[in-house]
Structure 1
Amino acid sequence: MEPLQCGTSPIVGFRFSLHPMTSDFIKVIKGALNDTDTSNVWMHTDDVSTVIRGKQIHVFNVAKALALHTAKTGEHVALSGTFSIGCPGDSTGDVFLEKDDVLLNTDSTKQYISSQFALYPMNNPDYMAVIYREVDRAKQLGLFNDSMHYASGIHGDIHEVFAFYEEAFTNACSDEHRHLVMTVSMSINSPSHGGA
């Protein structure tokens, strides 16, 4: 099966912050980083957030693995981040684009997450049709949770949710409109999930 790929520019980035709701948050974050194979992406962490860049298939794989390994601690965790492709500042010479398509993180542990996302197809005058199409697809998949201002709620098993997000990202950009931004916010192991 051909890996999903958005547009013609292959560099995808994801800038995110993890927020474990525990005083031992450093151990939770470092543990997730140690348990995730990040060798297929370029990664840099500063005092606010972390960015990973590379092929789309690997950026989404690493993002899901980091969220899953953090969730496996049992702590309530929030994750907020921004996926982007086609940014004029990205270089087409990134060495991580030479990686093959073999996924390095394959943990299939089930994990419920509640999340929200927003799509921003840059310079696309028909952007609302693109957004509505992906929201309708979430409803058909049984992942749609709620309509809200500035986002749409998506929930379910982490593997299904991330698969939806990667497909939505792919579907929302095109050769004509190559710059796309997608924001996501996730809540994992929240007491308010009520044993979902």
Structure 2
Amino acid sequence: MECGLSPIVGFRFSLYPMADDFVSVIKGALEKTDTSNVWMHTDDVSTVIRGKQIHVFNVAKAIALHAAKTGKHIALSGTFSAGCPGDTAGDVYLNRSEEIANTDATTQYVSSQFALYPMNNPEYMEIIYREVNRAKEQGVFNESMHYASGIHGDIHEVFAFYEKAFSNARSEEHKHLVMTVSMSINSPTHGGL
């Protein structure tokens, strides 16, 4: 089936609270987040959310923020994906409006790393460099490293950067994109904002 830029975006992630009560932190974050605009499934390894890009990023940020508000050291590791051939499950959620469901504006420092993989795009390095330069311009760039780029700052600015980078790296010609993200929140080593 040939179509335009696929509107379905997915995020598969695992949340790792550094705490004895990790189950309650994970379940609490999921329960406190309004997930009505996305398709969601949790198993014993990870959770996947799927739907419109705006809602997937909104829900991902809200889950991370709710986990962070426990004060526990939280690690999150996940993969955003779009344009995967045959990706249709959850497409009923594409009828949702653009109004986001989670609006908590609590400030929260995040240290993170990301890597962009524009699939089958021969100009992938130009795309990656462009987004790294944009991170520098926006003040969220932390450092260069092997296999990733460091991004840090307030959780709202970090997720806004990630969502824009995800949009910028896709095109009609090269629809399939993967972006990996790893985050550390409330680490004892963080200096904060």
TM-score using structure 1 length? 0.95
Q: Which residue of 2 aligns with 1:60?
A: 57
Q: Distance in 2 between matches of 1:166 and 1:117?
A: 12
Q: Distance in 1 between matches of 2:67 and 2:80?
A: 19
Q: Which residue of 2 aligns with 1:98?
A: 95
Q: Secondary structure at the match of 2:54?
A: helix
2:56 is the counterpart of 1:84: no
Q: Which residue of 1 aligns with 2:10?
A: 13
2:32 is the counterpart of 1:39: no
2:123 is the counterpart of 1:126: yes
5+ residue gaps, structure 2 = none
Q: Which residue of 2 aligns with 1:4?
A: none
Sequence identity percentage: 78
Q: Which residue of 1 aligns with 2:113?
A: 116
Q: Distance in 2 between matches of 1:60 and 1:95?
A: 18
Letter in 2 for 1:97: L
Q: Distance in 2 between matches of 1:96 and 1:148?
A: 37
Residues 92/45 of structure 1: CA separation in 2 closer, same or farther (3 Å cut): closer
- 1:93 Cα offset (Å): 7.3
Which residue of 66, 69, 93 corresponds with 2:66?
69
- Could you report, residue by residue, the CA deviation over 1:154-182 in whole angstroms, capped at 9, with x for unpaired residues? 00000000000000000001000000000
Query: Between Structure 1 and Structure 2, how many residues are aligned?
Result: 190
Q: Secondary structure at the match of 1:192?
A: coil
Q: Secondary structure at the match of 1:15?
A: strand
- 1:89 Cα offset (Å): 2.7
Q: CA RMSD in A?
A: 1.1
Question: Is the 2:51–2:90 contact (alpha carbons within 8 Å) kept by the matching residues of 1?
Answer: no
5+ residue gaps, structure 1 = 1-6
Letter in 1 for 2:93: F
- 1:8 Cα offset (Å): 1.7
Q: Which residue of 2 aligns with 1:173?
A: 170
- 1:83 Cα offset (Å): 0.2
- Could you report, residue by residue, the CA deviation over 1:20-77 in whole angstroms, capped at 9, with x for unpaired residues? 0001001111111111000100000111100000000000000000000000000000
Letter in 2 for 1:79: L
Q: Which residue of 2 aligns with 1:148?
A: 145
Q: Secondary structure at the match of 2:105?
A: coil
Divergent runs of 4+, >6 A: none
Q: Distance in 1 between matches of 2:18 and 2:161?
A: 26
- 1:186 Cα offset (Å): 0.1
Q: Secondary structure at the match of 1:63?
A: helix
Q: Which residue of 1 aligns with 2:190?
A: 193
Q: Distance in 1 between matches of 2:89 and 2:77?
A: 26
- Could you report, residue by residue, the CA deviation over 1:95-136 in whole angstroms, capped at 9, with x for unpaired residues? 000111110000000000000000000000000000000000
